[in-house]
């Protein structure tokens, strides 16, 4: 498989590092990435997702000493999807390597992704071997992939994680879709068939606490299951019709005295349970539809040392006492 576009080994990498309250991991992640991947034409792009623990101060200090460090800082916490989407949108290199600040994926493992990308792939996803996460999270991920891929037949790269290498043009096209239920892993196969997965090492988090809890994972899974397949809504419709048929037959049988009071009550409660399940899926589907309507941007930037589009800023650069914004097009710092 060949590609007319250059691979990451020669065209360069933007390493996007989303951060939310990762003050202890900013400097270690910087050292590891520059030590292991410094031989590439490199950009380190930190996205501060509204941290309140000094994460931004650490990033500013790195940017002041290393011109390869770029950053954005949000006006509030917008979430993981918004954080990496912002990094993907403003990264300057032809390829984007996504590395989380917690360093659970060793930066050196990116060489495996690069090697597979050089074979002509547009995206390469890392798959954890010997995963070093709590058992509940491992089980939850396994169930998620089983339901998504096997049951609902959603095309998701098998075992894929956020540790990935993607052509920047592809990543930006996905971000600019502004889907009501953005889900990067499931969107890539809708745009290209040239993607691959490769096994990579994984290690336990050494500093700080994970921001990914059960609630986040469950919500993310529901958005995928409802937003990327019609199988659930089709099954819900069929179930509702079947329940309606049973209700008609049961009502007729009860009217002619063919069913006892106990059996009738049992049927009523069973049908009620079915209808409530269908109603819950319908409501969730309507939430997805509503999410596709006009709404605020996915994120708003308060501070950056890159040029930020006007629509992604909450405040217009004007007030000298406001948040700092470095406009590289002017070649000098201006206040925002």
How far, in Å, are 230, 299, 310 from residue 292 at the CA level? 16, 16, 22
Q: Does one domain contain both 31 and 137? A: yes
Q: Does one domain contain both 164 and 189? A: yes
Q: Does one domain contain both 108 and 257? A: no
Domain-located, residue 298: no
Residue 69 pLDDT > 90: yes
Is pTM beyond 0.75? Reply is no
What's the distance, CA 48 to chain centroid? 15
Q: Does one domain contain both 52 and 105? A: yes
Q: Give the integer Cα–Cα distance in Å for 68 and 26.
A: 15
Domain-located, residue 260: yes
For the chain, the domain total comes to: 2
Domain-located, residue 280: yes
Q: What is the DSSP letter of 52?
A: S
CATH code for the domain of 200? 3.90.550.10
Q: Does one domain contain both 161 and 113? A: yes
Most confident of 134-143, 153-162, 227-236, 289-298: 153-162
Q: Does one domain contain both 92 and 233? A: no
Range of the domain at 276: 228-289
Coil, strand, or helix at residue 180?
Answer: coil
User: What separation, in Å, do the N-terminal and C-terminal C-alpha atoms of the chain show?
Assistant: 47
Q: pLDDT digit string (tens) for 77-98?
A: 998 889 999 999 999 999 999 9
Domain endpoint, select from 269, 289, 309: 289
Domain-located, residue 107: yes
Look at 334 and 314; give whichever has higher pLDDT.
Answer: 314
Q: pLDDT digit string (tens) for 203-223?
A: 877 776 765 655 666 666 667
Q: Does one domain contain both 190 and 46? A: yes
Which pair of structure tokens corresponds to residue 84? 């990496």
Q: Does one domain contain both 205 and 233? A: no
Radius of gyration of the chain (CA): 24
Coil, strand, or helix at residue 26?
Answer: helix
Domain-located, residue 23: yes
Domain-located, residue 128: yes
Q: Does one domain contain both 284 and 164? A: no
Dihedral pair phi/psi, residue 201, rounded to 5°: -75, 160
pLDDT value of residue 333: 38
Domain-located, residue 205: yes
Q: Which residue is listed with tokens 């994460």? A: 55
Q: Does one domain contain both 272 and 156? A: no
Domain-located, residue 323: no
Q: Does one domain contain both 183 and 34? A: yes
Mean pLDDT, range 257-262, rounded to an integer: 68
Q: Does one domain contain both 189 and 239? A: no
Alpha helix segments (H runs only) across 49-191? 55-65, 80-90, 110-117, 135-145, 168-176, 184-191
């Amino acid at each position: 498989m060949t590609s007319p576009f250059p691979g990451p080994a020669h065209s360069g990498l933007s390493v996007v590092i989303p951060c939310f309250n990762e003050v202890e991991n900013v400097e270690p992640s910087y050292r590891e990435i520059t030590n292991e991947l410094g031989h590439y034409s490199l950009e380190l792009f930190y996205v501060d997702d509204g941290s309140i623990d000094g994460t931004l101060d650490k990033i500013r200090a790195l940017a002041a000493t290393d011109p390869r460090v770029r950053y954005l800082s949000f006006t509030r916490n917008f979430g993981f999807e918004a954080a990496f989407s912002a990094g993907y949108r403003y990264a300057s290199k032809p390829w984007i390597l996504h590395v989380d600040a917690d360093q659970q994926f060793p930066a050196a493992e990116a060489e495996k992704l690069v090697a597979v990308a050089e074979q002509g792939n547009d995206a390469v996803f890392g798959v954890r071997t010997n995963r070093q996460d709590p058992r509940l999270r491992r089980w939850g991920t396994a169930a998620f992939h089983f339901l998504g891929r096997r049951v609902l037949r959603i095309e998701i790269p098998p075992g894929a994680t956020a540790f990935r290498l993607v052509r920047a043009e592809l990543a930006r096209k996905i971000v600019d879709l502004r889907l009501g239920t953005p889900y990067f892993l499931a969107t890539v196969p809708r745009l290209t068939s040239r993607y691959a997965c490769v096994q990579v090492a994984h290690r336990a988090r050494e500093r700080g606490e994970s921001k990914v809890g059960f609630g986040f994972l469950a919500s993310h899974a529901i958005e995928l299951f409802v937003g990327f397949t019609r199988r659930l809504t089709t099954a819900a419709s069929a179930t509702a019709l079947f329940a309606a048929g049973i209700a008609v037959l049961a009502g007729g049988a009860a009217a002619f005295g063919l069913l006892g009071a106990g059996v009738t009550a049992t049927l009523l409660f069973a049908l009620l349970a079915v209808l409530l399940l269908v109603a819950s899926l319908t409501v969730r589907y309507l939430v997805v539809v509503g999410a596709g309507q006009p709404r605020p941007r996915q994120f708003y930037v308060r501070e950056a040392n890159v040029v930020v589009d006007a629509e992604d800023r909450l405040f217009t650069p004007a007030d000298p006492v406001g948040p700092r914004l470095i406009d590289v097009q002017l070649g000098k710092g201006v206040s925002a």
